Amino acid sequence: QVQVVESGGGLVQPGGSLRLSCAASGIDVSLYNMGWYRQGPGQERELVARIMKTGNTNYPDSVKGRFTISRDNAKNTVYLQLNNLKPEDTAVYYCQASLVLKNYWGQGTQVTVSS
């Protein structure tokens, strides 16, 4: 059984930082393309970071330079470092593992940026 579990969300002030974790079981994250998505209130889910099997990463312009995705193969975990957070970063953040036609999602972790 495949499980993808996010953690690390919380309430943070503007300009603050958080590190989100995505722990997987039942799959090897080094063999999957791993992505972090977010969905704000009344908004569609959007990609914020992806790390490919090759190790290549990509980010949308809205988070480039502030968010960093990384992978620890030994812990079978993917991380998302969030720096210089803004109120518009408030959303539920989801982790996705994808490989060809296989897609696995976690339940999400809430990030709220507010003073």
> What is the pLDDT at residue 99?
92
| Tokens standing for residue 82 | 């969030």
> What is the pLDDT at residue 2?
94
Using an 8 Å Cβ cutoff, are 46 and 39 in contact?
Answer: yes
Look at phi and psi of residue 66 and say left if phi exceeds 0, alpha if psi is from -120 to 50, else beta.
alpha
> Phi and psi dihedrals of 29, rounded to 5?
-60, -20
> What is the pLDDT at residue 86?
97
Tens digits of pLDDT across the chain (115 residues): 999 999 999 999 999 999 999 999 999 999 999 999 999 999 999 999 999 999 999 999 999 999 999 999 999 999 999 999 999 999 999 999 999 889 999 999 999 999 9
> What is the pLDDT at residue 100?
87
Residue 93, number of CB atoms within 10 A of its CB: 24
